[in-house]
Amino acid sequence: MSLKFAAPDTPAIPLHLVAEGGLDPWLAGQTPQVRAWVGAMGFTGAIGRTLVVPDAAGGIAMALGGYGTEASRARARFHLAAIANALPAGTYRVEGLPDAQAATEALGWLLSQYAYERYRDQAPAKARLIAPKGVDAARLEIIAAGEALTRDLINTPAKDLGPAALEADCATNADQQSARMTCVQGEDLLAQNFPLIHTVGRAAEVAPRLIDMTWGDTGPKLTLVGKGVCFDTGGLNLKPGSSMGLMKKDMGGAATVLGLAHMIMALNLPVQLRVLIPAVENAVAGNAFRPGDILTARNGLTVEVNNTDAEGRLVLADALAYGAEDAPDLMISMATLTGAARVALGPDLSPYYTDDPRFAVALEAAAARVADPVWRLPFHTPYEAMIEPGIADLDNAPSGGFAGSITAALFLRRFAGGLNYSHFDIYGWTPTAAPARPKGGVGMGARALLDALPEVLGL
C-alpha cells in the first residue's frame, strides 16, 4: 500500500469545499446550469456531504464537499477524509481549504487510503489528492507511512506477530533507515540482568526478548520504550474471554514507538534515537510466574506480583531501567497499559504523564495543531503509598481499583532514573470506523510527539 499524493501535474477534478452558510456566495460565481444542479440535488454544505457536478459529456466537471459549520467540525477530525471516502475514483485538486487546516486535512486524506489487506482485499477510498499548495507533501507522506506501519503491526494477530516476528519487523525497519539493532533473548536475558522480561515471557513457546535499536550520532538523546506484549492471556490470573479477544493489540505501545521512530528517522531529525522494546507473550504453562511471587528488577527494586495480568509494567520496568543507564535527555514510554485509562478518557484521547510543565505545554500545542488529541494525567506523588505493599518495594497491582492508570504510571516512574520522563497509556484501537481511521489498530500520540520534539529538545 502506497499512501502518496498524486503528482502535481496530474489532470485533476476541482473539489470545492463549501461551508454551511457559504453556499450562496459560492453559487453566485457559477453558471446557471451549476446553480440549477446544486439546487436540484439539495446540497447545503453539511459536513462530509459530497456532490458531483456532471459536464456536458457525462463526465465529472467538478465536485463539492461540505465543510459544515465550526460547531460540526469540532465534533470530529479529518473532515476531508470523510469527503474522500464518498467521492468516486479520480484525482482531485481541493479548493477553498483553509490554510491553517491544510496539512492536517491533507494527511487525513492520505490516511483514508489505508486498509489492512494481509488476509483479504479491502476497499479503501479510491479518490486521490494533489497536495494543496504550501503543504510539505513529502513530510506528510512519511508521517502516513509511519502511521500505516503502526496500524499494520497492531492489526496482525499473534499467530503471525509473536516476539520473533516483531523482532524481524524491527530489523527490517532498522535496515531501511540504516539504524543499528541488537536483541537479547531467552536465557541470555538473565545473564544480562533483564529478569522481569524473562519472568513474564518464559512460559511462552517463543522466547522473550529485548529489542534495542539505535540511530543517529549527534544531537539530544531521545529514548522511546514500547510495551511489546504480543499476546496477553493474563497469565495465571487469566483474562475472561471478553477481555482476551483484542489482546493481539497489547503490543500497541511497541507498534506506536516504531511508527514514531520511522517518522523521526525518515525526516532525519537531529537526535540520537534509541528504541527499546521488551517483546514477550504472557502465557500459561507450568513455569509461568505466579501471584505472590516477589521479583527483583534490573535496578534492584523488588516487586510483589499480586496479579499476573499486570505484566506490562514489569517488562517495561527492566527496559526503562536499562534506558536510564544511558542518561537520555528525554525518555518516553508508550503502552496499552490499563483499562482504567480507557474508562477515564475513552478510546480517542491519549492519556500522558510528565513532571515537566514545558513538555506538557509543547505537547498539547502540537496535539491541537496536528489533530492528535492528548490529555495530561498527574504523577500524583501522594499515591506512591498505594504501590508499596510492605513485603517488597513495589506492588504490581494495588488492590482497591482506585487510580489504576496513575498507580501504573507511578510504578514505571520508579525505574526511569529521575530523568525527564513521560509515559503514554494509550488504547491503540479504533472501535468504530471514523474518517481516516478504519476500525482496528491506530497510532495515538505519535504525531503530536513528532510535532513537539523540536521545541522539547531544542532542535
DSSP 3-state of 270:
coil
Sign of the C-alpha dihedral, residues 256, 259, 262, 268? Answer: negative
Q: Which three cell numbers stand for residue 310?
A: 499486570
Residue 337: Cβ within 10 Å count = 29
How far is residue 179's CA from residue 222's CA, in Å, rounded to a whole number? Answer: 14
How far is residue 433's CA from residue 423's CA, in Å, rounded to a whole number? Answer: 27
Q: 415, 328 in Cβ contact below 8 A?
A: no
H or E element: which one contains 242? Answer: helix 241-244
Determine the length of the chain: 459
239 carries an active-site annotation = yes
Taking each helix axis from N to C end, the angle separating 102-111 and 79-86, rounded to the nearest 10 degrees, works out to 40
Q: Which one is catalytic: 128, 151, 248, 313?
A: 313
CA-based nearest residue to 166, from 114, 194, 208? 208
H or E element: which one contains 422? Answer: strand 421-425
How far is residue 391's CA from residue 307's CA, in Å, rounded to a whole number? Answer: 15
H or E element: which one contains 198? Answer: helix 195-201
Q: 211, 228 in Cβ contact below 8 A?
A: yes
How far is residue 290's CA from residue 153's CA, in Å, rounded to a whole number? Answer: 29
11-27 as b/e: b if 16+ CB within 10 A: ebbebbbbbbeebeebb
CA-based nearest residue to 167, from 192, 185, 151? 185
For the chain, how far is it from start to end, CA to CA, in angstroms? 32
How far is residue 425's CA from residue 456's CA, in Å, rounded to a whole number? Answer: 20
Q: Which three cell numbers stand for residue 20?
A: 454551511
Q: Which one is catalytic: 4, 35, 73, 239?
A: 239
Give 130's DSSP letter.
Answer: B
Active site residues: 239, 313
